[in-house]
Structure 1
Amino acid sequence: MKERSIRVRDVMSAPAVTVDESTPLGAVAELLGRKHIKRLPVLSKGKLVGIVSRANLVRALASCAPAQLDAQPSDDQIRSAITKELDGHRWAMVADGLIVTDGVAHCWGAVRSEEEREAILAAAARVPGVKGVKDHLEYPVAFTPL
């Protein structure tokens, strides 16, 4: 039985699966799950500095304030995030055409193609906190003098 073994090689996988001390916790969690292991040695410059376990990750998650886990960004924060997401794209709509109400982004303005429409709506939808996106985009109307 491995628990009663005397040598490390009898209880550890080879080669050892390790992480660097700067490895993000998400990557550590993914590695623990993918490799079906419960603990990972943590290295710094090739030297062992600790061990991180599944229990450590659960404790870290539990220590987060519930408000941090469930907090919904304000409409202003969502609008700013969408504006930032659209910034710099040639197809981006004018920021004045974006209204966020109760987490729903309303996109107003003119588009030149369906691809532009889809890109704007997709960019808005992928911002955290967005509950929905309403399409008010339209093609410009050309007026000809009589």
Structure 2
Amino acid sequence: MQAKHVMTSPVITVTPDTPVPDIAALLLQRRISGVPVTEADGRLVGIVTEGDLLHRAETGTERRRSRWLEIFTGGRGQATDYVKSHGTRAADVMTRHVITVGPDTELTDIASLMERERVKRVPVSDDGRVVGIVSRANLLHGLVAYRTPQPRTTGDAAIRETLLGRLGDEAWIDVNHVNIVVNDGVVHLWGVVDNDDQRHALRVAAESVPGVRGIEEHLHRNRFVE
């Protein structure tokens, strides 16, 4: 799945001259946590998020920096904070470095990007212009809509072969330490695991095989591993 399959489009945007109170009202009204800032031609120039409006003079929440810190920074941080807390337009408070993705970006890459950059949404840009936005909620929508095409696995032997094939590609388990017996669709897991994470992963792997009716564990912890 790619960004274009789950993104919200058209995108709610504001201009650099949009007043800050209007942006706050828009976020509340639309129940969104951020809004891209675009020029008249649709070119992306920034984004305003809830975090950008967190420290405001109107609510008495502006950031107070240590005077000692300002001595070493030359007051640059203080000036930036002042603009953020007192600025009246989107251009004053917006984050200018915007992380974007393209319409064909895979959802796996977007999820990793959000986690790495600690952001909740990313604009989808095509030739410098915003065509959509992907939020964490959009990723969940993709999860709900997605159904993995599963070949029909019939018979105990086929279930066992499929499961062993999947586990053979995984680095977290040595299939030589695990024996799998399938009887009437019930997978019996025998052998030794190093920890409870491996135990859990084995169960998840077995449950994901079509045709499995149940799981029976007969696994033991490796006593030589702490």
TM-score category, normalised to shorter length: 0.3 to 0.5
Question: What is the TM-score of this pair, normalised by structure 2?
Answer: 0.34
Question: What is the TM-score of this pair, normalised by structure 1?
Answer: 0.46
